[in-house]
Amino acid sequence: MAVPQKNCSNEDCNYRVDGKCVEGYALEECPHISSILVEEIEEIEEPESAPEANPIISLFLGEALSREKASELQRKSRSRAVSIVGPADAGKTSLVASIFDLFQKGPFATFNFAGSSTLIGFEKVCHDARAASRRDAPHMERTIAGAEATFFHLDLLSAQSDLVSLFISDRSGEDYLAAADDISRADEFFELRRADVVTLLVNGEHLTMSENRHEVKATTPQIVDALVEAEALRQGGRLAVVLTKQDSVVASPHTVRVQKEFDEIVDAIIQHHGEYFSDIGRFSIAASPREAEEVKRGEGVDNLLRYWLLAAKTPTASRSTESGSTRMIDLLDSFVKEAT
């Protein structure tokens, strides 16, 4: 006899054995019969013992560093601190990303990659310029306005020198621009006061556009004015003024005009603040060009990196700038001669 596959909740009933209801009900009328098949009831497995939690070791996060963590690392080795200042879309993130990515192909600007505690941070900012993002053009996320500055870290080694740790600060461009409206905002820019080189970005693409060029020419010196006025920049430090997006400049019909106007911006800064800084250098870069036909990826970044990593010197280079030599190679030569 086939055993019925229904359950009876009456303990006195042998329905499961003989298929008969002890109370004489017809199957469909019995109040004790469950409609659930025995096989459908899940067995609850009692764990033999609670699994022991395996203790976890947390590793360093690899993200851009906090102020405190950067300070801790800076104390451990010879270091250079660099701050990048510029309006939104001037190319800050592209510059940071390109420096790391240029080392992915080998030694760069006579330096060798020796390590980094912010590889995750670099990878994040590099992603949108890489083919893995599946984008059709390089893209860079803006740094969030109002957030405290963080630091990217690279240990670099040159054939001529010891290891040097490079710390590049990252803060929203909007925050720096706000200092031009309200210089009390500059008090919060701790990263600028500790910077060996403050790097001021001038959006080259905007200088090619009639709608934006006058704004760029007006506001760039004003940012420096405000930061100097607020004593947010270390007196005797170096200032690099950088024309970004050289690919857009070269592709525009106004290449000569843009270069001339950029030079005027730098000259104005030198005129007003030449005494404040030990040196003011000028650079042109294409950190993450949209097209690689006219300029190559990372063009000019090598000169800027070498400038960042030069040892702090007396203000000789300012004099060379003022005497008319604006070629970066002349500035670098003067530093090299001083060093040797």
Partner 1 sequence: MSHGHPSVSIIGLPESGKTTLLAAIWHMVREPGSVTALKFDGLNQGNYEHLNGLAKRWRAAKKQQRTQTSGLKVVRMNLKNDVGKSIEISFPDMPGEDFSRMWEKRELDESMGDMLSAEAIVLLINGDTIKFPTWIVEQNAIAKGAGLPPENAEVVEWSAELAPTQVQVVELLQFLMSSELSVGPRRLAVLISAWDEVKGDGMDPEEVLKVKLPLLDQYLRSRRDPWTWHVWGVSAQGGAYEDQDNGEQLEETEALRQLDRPSDRIQVVDGKKVSTDITQPLNWLIG
| Rounded Cα gap, residues 164 and 323, in angstroms | 31
* Residues from 129 through 158 that contact partner 1 (CB under 8 A): 129-138, 155, 157
Q: Annotate each residue in 87-106 with x if it binds partner 1 (CB under 8 A) or - if it does not, as one string.
A: --------------x-xxxx
Paired with 83 in beta bridges are 169, 198
SS3 22: coil
Answer yes or no whether residue 159 interacts with partner 1 by CB under 8 A: no
Q: Does 61 bind partner 1 (CB under 8 A)?
A: yes
Q: Which of 120, 144, 218, 312 binds partner 1 (CB under 8 A)?
A: 120
Task: Work out whether 128 is an interface residue with partner 1 (CB under 8 A).
Answer: yes
8 Å CB contact between 207 and 249: yes
Residue tagged 């019925």 (tokens): 4
Q: Which is nearer to partner 1, 58 or 210 (CB)?
A: 58
Does residue 58 belong to the site contacting partner 1 (CB under 8 A)?
yes
Strand, coil or helix: 93: helix
Nearest to 335 by CA among 326, 322, 314: 314
337 binds partner 1 (CB under 8 A): no
- Least distance to partner 1 from the beta carbon of 124, Å? 5
- The closest alpha carbon to 307, from 205, 172, 173, 166, belongs to 166
* Pairing status of strand 7-8 against strand 33-34: antiparallel
Neighbours of 240 (CB within 10 A): 22
Longest dimension (CA), the chain: 116
Read off the DSSP letter of residue 95.
H
Q: Which is nearer to partner 1, 193 or 290 (CB)?
A: 290
Q: How far is the CB of 111 from partner 1 (least distance, A)?
A: 9
> Contact between 249 and partner 1 (CB under 8 A)?
no
Among residues 4, 107, 236, 315, the one that binds partner 1 under rule CB under 8 A: 107
Contact call for residue 251 and partner 1 (CB under 8 A): no
Q: Does 66 contact partner 1 by CB under 8 A?
A: no
205: nearest Cα among 151, 262, 162: 262
| Interface with partner 1, residue 124, by CB under 8 A | yes
Which of 204, 221, 274, 289 touches partner 1 by CB under 8 A? Answer: 289
Q: Could you list the residues that contact partner 1 (CB under 8 A)?
A: 54-62, 101, 103-107, 112-117, 119-120, 123-124, 126-138, 155, 157, 163, 288-293, 297
